Amino acid sequence: MSTNENILSIFALGGLNEIGKNMYAIEYADDIIIIDCGNKFPDESLLGIDLIIPDITYLIENKDRVKALLVTHGHEDHIGGIPFFLKKLNVPVYATRFTLGLIEIKLKEHKLLRESELVEINASSKLAFGKIRVEFFRVTHSIPDCLGIVFRTPEGNVVHTGDFKFDLTPEQREERPDIHKMADIGNEGVLLLLSESTNAERPGLTPSEQMVADHLEVAFMNAERKIILSTFASNVSRVQQVVNAAYKTNRKLALLGRSMVNVVEVAIERGYLTVPDGMLIDQNDINELPPEKVAIFVRGAKENHWLHLPGCRLETFAESKFYQKIRLFLQRVQYLEMKKV
């Protein structure tokens, strides 16, 4: 008999008081379930460090009790540590279709795809691990296919919201939060709520994605030469809005940055993004077209290192005399995006 019988433990291995390497563990009797396994990008004080990942020593010491890794969504700070985790603990990974697409890219890079057990789930899935039953609910966030999780334990319900915002008019209807299911779970009773907290201290609501679409279209219509945009690569609904604006204004779109290309490929292939045939062009062909026929989409990222590096890939496409101007412009765009304007 386990010494842990009838004790419910919940602990974070990352993501508290920091942005990055999100990872929670829920433990009951002989079972440990992991939620998310993110990475964190190093700051200037950590020269020589590529990536920071959670310390999973406790999990390795209790290897046989770790039953599953459940992934709420595909942001780097929730999936970036998965290859390193699976090298030590090869447990089944449960995630939605889009999230799995992004995880697969990572596992391929680490040559782990073949030996990994990936299980596709959706908001209606029901799972059970020992005495813990698991259900999910749809939440809206800045990446498609996000889930919140309910753990039904003998001690009561534990709810993990994942990252979320309430947007009732997202770019894709199916991304709307399932408020009814959340209300039902609330009515049942919740022993503990683990809630996303980035910027939670700020009053008010995040504006709907729809507002961004309107502004983008106006900007595209008014632009007389090349358009250069930046967003987090994973923000597929924002990418869709840019595609729509480019289509309406008869511009071709070039993607820059490996993660931008990867995410767009997964999103198109799995049906989360619709791009008209012939719209995407290679970065080397940018200068073959008149400036007013091109938009350039550059990956942004939380670390943003490329913005500060001389000789970064911006130089590969920008006319050099405009380089400094473009750099300043992009920094401004990133700043506005971080402020969620």
Binding site for Zn ion (CB under 5 A): 75, 163
Min dist. Cβ of residue 83 to Zn ion (A): 19
Instruction: Pick the closer one to Zn ion by CB: 180 or 202.
Output: 202
In whole angstroms, the minimum distance from the beta carbon of 47 to Zn ion comes to 27
Task: Kindly state the smallest distance separating residue 199's Cβ from Zn ion, in Å.
Answer: 12
Relative to beta strand 192-194, strand 252-256 is: unpaired
Nearer to Zn ion, 75 or 299 (CB): 75
Of 236, 186, 194, 235, the C-alpha closest to 35 is 194
Written as one string, the DSSP assignment of 226-251 is -EEEEEETT-HHHHHHHHHHHHHTT-
In DSSP notation, 111-149 reads T-TTT--EEE--TT-EEEETTEEEEEEEEB-SSSSEEEE
For 57, list phi and psi in degrees, rounded to 5. Answer: -55, -45
Using the minimum distance from each CB to Zn ion, give the nearer residue, 75 or 160.
75
Residue type, 299: R
Sheet of strand 156-160, all strands in order from the earlier edge strand to the far edge: 126-129, 132-139, 146-153, 156-160, 192-194
Question: Which of residues 75 and 152 has its CB atom nearest to Zn ion in the complex?
Answer: 75
- How many CB atoms are located within 10 Å of the residue 24 CB? 23
CB nearer Zn ion, residue 197 or residue 284: 197
26 vs 147 by CB, closer to Zn ion? 147
- Least distance to Zn ion, CB of residue 52, Å: 17
Which tokens is 297 given? Answer: 């989409």
Report the alpha-carbon angle 294-299-301, nearest 5.
Answer: 155
Cβ-based nearer residue to Zn ion, 27 or 163? 163
Query: For the stretch 64-92, what's the b/e string if a residue is b when 16 or more beta carbons lie within 10 angstroms of its beta carbon?
Result: ebbbbbbbbbbbbbbbbbbbbbbeebebe
CA dihedral 279, 272, 102, 233 (to 10 degrees): 50
Q: For residue 340, which of 232, 239, 218 has the smallest C-alpha distance? A: 232
Nearest distance from residue 305's CB to Zn ion, in Å?
A: 20
- Nearest approach in angstroms of CB 173 to Zn ion is 21
- Smallest distance from Zn ion to CB 146, Å: 8
Closest approach, Cβ 163 to Zn ion, in A, equals: 4
* CB nearer Zn ion, residue 28 or residue 136: 136
